[in-house]
Structure 1
Amino acid sequence: MKKGDFVVFYSGKQTLGKPEKCQEFTALGKVLDDEIYPFQVSEDFCPSRRNVEFSQSKDTSIIPLIDDLYFIQNKKSWGYPFRFGFFEINKHDFDLISSQMLRI
């Protein structure tokens, strides 16, 4: 990611470590700068963070979009791409997701 890139966040679960599903795109934002910094979450967890300006958006289910998202090649195992953290998607997919999220 670099300054000016847009990011879409997907949440597979309601709460980390618990079984209740979310399966929604839950945030949309723009990377503000090129700074990467550590953020201490707990004693043994310190992930890297980026400064992002978030848009006002609504949580959007992935389920009705699966067939139209190019980054999901295997529609039966549609959750597979999310196992690896951040990844780049094409303009078509970004436009489809963001258009749904920005319908407020």
Structure 2
Amino acid sequence: MPYRINTVSADHVQRGVAGGFTQANHGKPHMLRRMARGDWNIFYSPKTALEHGESLQAFTAIGRVTGDEPYQEHPSHPWRRAMEFLPCTATPIRPLLDQLEFVVDPQRWGYKFRFGVFRIEEPDFLLIRSAMTQQLAA
């Protein structure tokens, strides 16, 4: 089962969680088409808002694809994919950097996020999910 990280500002993540959807790569459909029902996505937010946002550098949501195909509400709107989200709390990335397999160079850990959406392996997914849901279990 594929696991992905989707880099999205926190304000856009919140809209997606509230609306039960995700977007990727500024509303383009190609990455959404690569996702399948049941795929997991962890959302990483470098900033609180796309424009003029403050630095956040945290994982902000976890969702599972529920829709079969990307969709647009109107032809001029961005492409979306239906998702259901797990209850979780925003979790800073820095305490996890030394444990994440996808971080090849800790000095340049942010580079990978510049691609928008990328695949990760299950151990990284489980580590991040555990960190994001740990406070809820307490």
The two structures have a TM-score, normalised by structure 2, of 0.68
Match of residue 81, structure 2, among 46, 50, 56: 50
Runs of 5+ unmatched residues, structure 1: none
The C-alpha deviation readout for 1:64-100, integer Å capped at 9, x for no partner, is 0011111111111111111011111001100000001
List, as ranges, runs of 4+ consecutive aligned residues in structure 1 with deviation greater than 6 Å. none
Runs of 5+ unmatched residues, structure 2: 1-34
> For residues 38 and 96 of structure 1, do their structure 2 counterparts lie closer, same or farther at Cα, with a shift above 3 Å needed?
same
Aligned to 1:31: 65
1:24 deviation in Å? Answer: 0.5
Q: Structure 1 counterpart of 2:65, which letter?
A: V
| 1:7 partner SS | strand
- Work out the CA distance in 2 between the residues paired with 1:6 and 1:70: 17
- Work out the CA distance in 2 between the residues paired with 1:18 and 1:25: 19
Match of residue 8, structure 1, among 42, 45, 53: 42
Q: What is the correspondence of 1:1-104 to structure 2 with a 5 Å cutoff? A: 1-18=35-52, 20-38=54-72, 46-103=77-134, 104=136
> For residues 80 and 39 of structure 1, do their structure 2 counterparts lie closer, same or farther at Cα, with a shift above 3 Å needed?
farther
| 1:35 partner SS | coil
Number of matched residues? 100
